[in-house]
Amino acid sequence: MVRVLLWGMGEIGSRAARMLVERPQVEIVGAISHQVGVDVGAAVGAPEHGVTIVGRPDDVGNVEADVCLLATDQRVRDLAPQIEWLLIQGTSVIASGEEMIFPWASEPDLAGVIDAKARAVGRTVYGTGVNPGFAMDALVLCLTSCCASVRRIDVVRASDFSPYGPGPLRSLGVGLEPDEFRAGLAAGTVDGHIGFRESIGAISRALGWAIEEFREEIEPIVTTVERRTPHITVSPGRVAGCAHSAEALIGGEVVIRLSHPQQIEPAAEGAAVGDTVTIDGAPPITMQITPEIEGGQATAARMVNAIGSVLDGPPGLVAMDELALPFATPLGVPGTRVRAGAA
């Protein structure tokens, strides 16, 4: 029986909760979120579960959780105090915040502090998701295991943001005039994708590449036709999404290029969607996933499916290159490090 604490029940946290309430090997021992007083099962459209959501960590009472699924914030600096509190309770952490998939990229000092505190209490802290956390990094690394050498890696994740609501659309600048998009970039209200530094950090640490230069580029995708989703209608000449990319260089040569065009209704102008990985190596590998791996459900699944390997993981702050091969645990068996037995 694995005891899980849920902290943050927005889209990702709720989806993770939905997976967990059905798993007999999981005991949800607490839930912290805005829907204070609501039963955690009822909050996610499942039968009554017997655990009431509280609003603040101190209201959980005696925290006796093996692991917390932490889906509250995107940035390490916002997550660090929450993680430190969890470690004091003796709880390992699986965080969905983008920067947490490789915290050394954005906050090396805080990463060191978290690592030291986790080691001191013998617990594991890990960040995961689909992007960053899989499509542009873990999956790429897994493919390189077939290579005797790797010269360069190119990844394109072309996403359809039509299902997403106001929050994500705002961060892409969807609906703005191109001038407003640029002003939003300057003001920080438009920020595109968070995670390029993290994906590049994770890949380059694993491959042993010492990146010398990092570049990022963000441009509006201006539509020439009207595009409409359940959440927004964008008229011609306005922003339907953003083309965000990053490059990592060694010796003046690009060794990693990550490109992430994100827009609503890409089909309206014939733009393809999908995840494409091109490894210039020996042997070369070209991989395509069509359409792109859907982000919301898959991010929650990545968190839940990581429970087993985090509980078996080394103490400290760890990244994807330090944990077991990930896989689905659909039968509700979060700890899957079985050691023998035929199929």
Report 128-157 residues binding its own copies (CB under 8 A).
Answer: 130, 134, 138-139, 141-150
Q: Is 208 in the site for its own copies (CB under 8 A)?
A: yes
Q: Where are the alpha helices (DSSP H) in 145-219?
A: 166-172, 178-187, 196-207
Q: Is 112 in the site for its own copies (CB under 8 A)?
A: yes
Q: Three-state SS for 238?
A: coil
The 10 Å Cβ neighbour count of residue 208 is 6
Write the single-letter amino acid at 137. D
Closest distance of CB 41 from its own copies, Å: 17
Please select the residue that binds its own copies; options are 117, 123, 193, 205, rule is CB under 8 A: 205
Closest distance of CB 225 from its own copies, Å: 28
Q: Is 209 in the site for its own copies (CB under 8 A)?
A: yes
224 vs 288 by CB, closer to its own copies: 288
Q: Is 307 in the site for its own copies (CB under 8 A)?
A: no
Measuring CA to CA, how many Å separate 55 from each of 34, 61, 300?
6, 12, 21
CA distance 326 to 342: 20
Report 89-108 residues binding its own copies (CB under 8 A).
Answer: 102, 104-105, 108
Closest distance of CB 333 from its own copies, Å: 5
The 10 Å Cβ neighbour count of residue 342 is 3
CA distance 342 to 320: 28
Q: Using CB under 8 A, count the residues that bind its own copies.
A: 80
Closest distance of CB 306 from its own copies, Å: 8
Q: Is 24 in the site for its own copies (CB under 8 A)?
A: no
Answer left, alpha or beta for residue 108, where phi above 0 means left and psi between -120 and 50 means alpha.
alpha
Report 228-257 residues binding its own copies (CB under 8 A).
Answer: 248
Strands 274-282 and 149-160: antiparallel
Q: Report the first-to-last Cα separation within the chain, whole angstroms.
A: 23
Angle, helix 76-88 to helix 108-121, in steps of 10 degrees = 10
Q: Give φ, ψ of 31 to 5 degrees.
A: -145, 130
Stretch that binds its own copies, among 51-59, 158-166, 186-194, 201-209 (CB under 8 A): 201-209
58 vs 213 by CB, closer to its own copies: 213
Closest distance of CB 61 from its own copies, Å: 29
153 vs 242 by CB, closer to its own copies: 153
Q: Is 120 in the site for its own copies (CB under 8 A)?
A: no
Please select the residue that binds its own copies; options are 186, 294, 307, 310, rule is CB under 8 A: 294
Strands 67-70 and 227-228: unpaired
The token pair at 23 is 């798993």
Q: Is 342 in the site for its own copies (CB under 8 A)?
A: yes
7 vs 196 by CB, closer to its own copies: 196
**Type and span of the H or E element at 2:** strand 2-7
34 vs 151 by CB, closer to its own copies: 151
Q: Is 194 in the site for its own copies (CB under 8 A)?
A: no
